[in-house]
Copies of this chain bind each other. A is one copy, B any other.
């Protein structure tokens, strides 16, 4: 029998308690069993069915030799990091959905886990319930992954879906997302791409085997996507989605960005709507593959956490699965150096006559021009439109 503690009884933490009871049959049949022994939170939950497990003192968990799994759903890099370090040092495996902590301190925490013969697992930190990390680490473990692009943030996808489906403006769609509880009170981390950037960093680290620092990833949010862009993109048969996009080059360099992209309808990813997430992966032998599902939410996220606990508790021990080393600075490239096909919406200056090669006019409305381009770097693109007012420019998935 394994004994678990949950740190933080918020949405995800309470979801884990619930999912453990939903999954109790399978856990007892396929593993040595998992019993939830403590829930640590500074708040009181007298009416919770789990009230009897509540404690405010982390050291109770830390000092209980029975507890071998600690689920950290506190979030952030302060107390969560401290408790994670202490739990690992006390010989307990830690399972988390905390993408910020994994993206910034994953390497240090995995090393600490290894030192103490335990595991630090975080399937839930990327793609919520969608099994992205273990799929990449196991099933594609021997593959040469060349590229991925994915919808990794539900809030921005909901907003963009509303803009496409109902012609809503960005601000109206954001207000609706807040109403429905799909957005945080302060939506900055979602809207500006910071949340997606952390997830891209984790995916890149799993693939390369070294910690990809989030600050090496160029990030652009969705606040610059207008209703006109939506109309122009639709006329090309594309949707616009905020994508995390990374390339793994032959020389070992990684070039990654988070930015709005146009996705042609032939990609299933272009049909991923509302708060759902999806990840498209390209690998040399496998070719193209996609994973789709709920990227957030109480029970889907809890499901991913329980899958980590299941792997720890079963015969199927995979403690070593998630492991990467320190950052290899010389291998952090810039997405700006890569050629892309671009979508450009511009309001041309008087007398603009497009004489450049590689630009293709595809739409014209209210004095605005929509172009798509041949593959070129961002710098080459800006050079071609020098002196003109570019209203928006987004990459196009090829």
Chain A positions near chain B (C-beta within 8 angstroms): 15, 18-19, 22-23, 25-27, 29-30, 123, 129-131, 134-135, 137-144, 209, 268, 271-272, 283-294, 297, 299-300, 302-304, 306-307, 309-311, 314-316, 318, 320-321
Contact = CB atoms under 8 A, between A and B. Distances in A.
Copies of this polypeptide in the complex: 2
B316 A287 contact: no
Contact of A142 (B272, B283, B293, B310): B310
B129 A134 contact: no
B286 A268 contact: no
Contacts of A291: 289-292
Given A272-B268, A291-B290, A291-B291, A284 B135 contact: no
28 contacts: A15-B285, A22-B284, A23-B143, A23-B144, A26-B142, A30-B142, A129-B289, A130-B289, A131-B135, A131-B138, A131-B289, A138-B310, A139-B304, A141-B307, A141-B310, A142-B307, A142-B309, A271-B271, A284-B299, A285-B302, A286-B299, A286-B300, A287-B294, A289-B291, A290-B290, A290-B293, A316-B318, A318-B318
B287 A300 contact: yes
A285 B299 contact: yes
A368 B5 CA distance: 63
A292 B289 contact: yes
Contact of A285 (B123, B271, B290, B303): B303
Nearest to A136: B131
A129 to B, nearest CB: 4
